[in-house]
Amino acid sequence: MKRIFYFLFLLSLFSCSSSKKEETRTAFKYNEMGAVTSLDPAAARSFENIWVIGQLYNGLVELTDSLTIQPAFARAWEISPDGLTYTFHLRNTIYFHNNKCFANGKGRLATARDFVYSFNRLLDPKISGATSLLSFVQTPNGFEASNDTTFIIHLKRSFTPFLGILTMKFFSVVPQEAIELYGEDFRRNPVGTGPFQFKMWEEGAKLVLLKNPDYFETDGQNRLPYLDAVAVSFTKDRETSFLNFLKGELDMVSGIDAINTDQVLTTEGKLKEEFKSSIMLQTQPYLKTDYLGFFIDEKFPIVQQSPFKLKAIRQAINYGFDRKKMVAYLRRNLGVPATVGFIPPGLPSYDPSKVKGYDYNPDEVKKLLKQAGYPGGVGLPEISLATSEQYQELAEYIQAQFGELGIRLKIDVQKASVLNESIANSKVNFFRKSWIADYPDEENFLGLFYGKNWSPAGFNFTHYSNPEFDRLFELAQAELDLPKRYSYYQQMDQILMNDAPVVPLYYDQVVRLVHTNISGLTSNPMNMLSLKRVKKEKLFNR
């Protein structure tokens, strides 16, 4: 009987039949064109993983939609005056999901000792992508449980963004019993404390989470979550996925690359009138900067023979195309032209009056080309831009504008996975890339250019190095005075723009289409997905 019931439940979640009124009303459904690779929070690196992991687990603290840090598993905390000791006071009412790893299959109370275990586990780089984020933690014995509800973290030096880092899904609590039972297969058998619990995952096909009936949060009267289930499909084709959304078989699509913009959006990036009765458009600033990067480490032969080692050439390229038209024509104004610095809007230090970036200026291009020894582009070798197919149209736009100024650009289209490997291992010297905030602090963006973060061990893909930049970066990490810290960030951003190891393209926007029978689905500048307060009304025939 259990198998029959389970089959009927799955059928109700994924049925494409015409009997919409009989569908499970409270299963929130979305499609993931990428791949979920693990449900272990230690592997919470990709957005595909993070969105699901966020429904299954809790961390000490979490972000609100306005990016303030609020209690989650921890009900309160204190930070010592020297910034070296973080003491978290935990709730004593949170249980792990029921699972066979526990005695009698009944989930047990989660305690501070579970956080000690979970955080120590992250120190192993073979297990976790978060190891470098804990470099400021004292070793050994950086994590301590003084009792069941008191968890203490000891830092070896002050690091102001540390509390924000703890909002990342890496730092969720997991039970040791589950890790010991499942081993590496914990990635497919997650056990957390979150609003939803794992039901099934057929990799590349479908994933189902069910409501956690014992979840600790309420709305003041009712226990969260409101939904009965979350169902994720994995249709790779954008047009098929978007058609499924329009037919009501998905509740949401997210990201401009998942949307048929010609069909539903105006040239100004607004929802067309005929869709307003059934669809909501959610847009807002996204802590994400899309950019072109120059690899400038002259120890490498590809740089020794490249014009990119000349700052004047890098600056000329920054001036050589119109970002405003690019965003208007290629992205339907969904985004902001990156004419200020690398730090995007939405972070406190973003200030066009304090940081001067680049805008389209053909006269400056001509001046800089002449200064570099290539008047009018004469003698300048053809340059190659490595990009993925997804951004080929953008590259072609830049190519056309460069051509008018005597800069010959070749577009090297690579598979995204191959391109990422090439960038990380310094095999290309001009590439398209983007950076999404891991936590809401400018340090996370500027760390891409810190001299000690060179790839492949770190994320400084350009191998940029500037002693003054590094000095300010280290000062900012320990600075508790916010205005002074923001001033450091602005100075670093300006140094970066002057040296031009990157070409900022645009500051992205969160873009979602959601059916009007969905309520409580908010968006935020980190593009996190929280479903615990989402409600879904009965689907009507469309």
What is the number of H-type helices and E-type strands within the chain? 16, 19
pLDDT in tens, 279-288: 999 999 999 9
pLDDT in tens, 503-532: 999 999 999 999 999 999 999 999 999 999
Taking the alpha carbons at both ends of the chain, their separation in whole angstroms is: 34
Query: What gap in Å lies between CA 365 and CA 404, rounded to an integer?
Result: 11
Per-residue HEC secondary structure of 267-319 comes to CCCCECHHHCCCEEEEEEEEEEEEEEEECCCCCCHHHHCCHHHCHHHHHHHHH
Task: Give the chain's mean pLDDT.
Answer: 93
Residue 19 clears pLDDT 80, i.e. is over it: no
Enumerate the H helices of 145-281 as residue ranges.
162-165, 176-182, 238-246, 261-264
Q: What is the pLDDT of residue 7?
A: 44
Query: What gap in Å lies between CA 449 and CA 451, rounded to an integer?
Result: 6
Q: What is the pLDDT of residue 2?
A: 43
The answer for 269, left when phi > 0, alpha when psi is -120 to 50, beta otherwise, is left
Q: What is the pLDDT of residue 476?
A: 95
In the chain, what percentage of residues exceed pLDDT 90?
Answer: 89
Structural contact between residues 48 and 203, judged by C-beta atoms closer than 8 angstroms: no
Q: What is the pLDDT of residue 237?
A: 92
pLDDT in tens, 343-386: 999 999 999 999 999 999 999 999 999 999 999 999 999 999 99
Query: What gap in Å lies between CA 219 and CA 221, rounded to an integer?
Result: 6
Longest alpha-carbon distance in the chain: 80
Provide the angle, in degrees to the nearest 10, between the axes of the packed helices 482-499 and 467-478: 160
pLDDT in tens, 295-319: 999 999 999 989 999 999 999 999 9
Q: What is the pLDDT of residue 25?
A: 58
Is 541 or 217 the better-scoring residue by pLDDT?
Answer: 217
